[in-house]
């Protein structure tokens, strides 16, 4: 898995590429917690390059959402592939996360 970060005027975009599972979720955890600890409370997670997620990955996203929500910020996802969207649906995530089809559309809400 690869993680990249792009700071924009509106938010920080965290891009995930590849598989997010038990072997690497701690990389994403560290990235998100570092951002939140540094007062970044507007985070967009770009998932278009992510092709697998296990419950360990979902756990980190839920932790990120909870922390950012506590700061009254925004934690938004975009670009979920079909199989990933299905996992989000099954685990009840589509009702708790703000999810947009593309980065462009997601950026409009910040």
For residues 75 and 27, what is the distance between their CA atoms, to the nearest angstrom?
18
Closest CA to 5 of 56, 40, 39: 40
* Closest C-alpha to 68, from 106, 42, 44: 42
CB 16 within 8 A of CB 58: no
Q: How far is the CB of 104 from other proteins (least distance, A)?
A: 28
Closest CB to other proteins among 17 and 56? 56
Q: CB–CB of 59/33 below 8 Å?
A: no
Using the rule CB under 8 A, give the single segment among 4-12, 40-48, 71-79, 90-98 that binds other proteins: 90-98
**Taking contact as CB under 8 A, which single stretch among the options 3-11, 35-43, 85-93, 99-107 is the one that binds other proteins?**
85-93
92 binds other proteins (CB under 8 A): yes
Question: Within the chain, where are the H helices?
Answer: 25-37, 55-70, 82-90, 103-107
- In the block, which residue shows the tokens 């590849």? 18
CB of 3 to other proteins, least distance (A): 18
Per-residue binding string, other proteins, 21-60, x by CB under 8 A, is xxx-xx-------------------------x-xxx-xx-
Binding region for other proteins (CB under 8 A):
19, 21-23, 25-26, 52, 54-56, 58-59, 62, 66, 87, 90-92, 95-96
């Amino acid at each position: 898995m690869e993680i990249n970060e792009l700071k924009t005027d509106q938010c920080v975009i965290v891009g995930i590429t590849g598989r997010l599972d038990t072997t690497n979720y701690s990389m994403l955890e560290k990235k998100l917690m570092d951002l939140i600890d540094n007062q970044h409370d507007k985070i967009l997670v770009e998932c278009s390059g992510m092709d697998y997620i296990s419950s360990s990955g979902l756990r980190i996203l839920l932790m990120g959402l909870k922390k950012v929500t506590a700061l009254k910020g925004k934690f938004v996802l975009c670009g979920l592939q079909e199989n990933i969207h299905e996992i989000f649906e099954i685990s009840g995530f589509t009702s708790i996360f703000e999810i947009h089809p593309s980065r462009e559309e997601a950026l409009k809400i910040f």
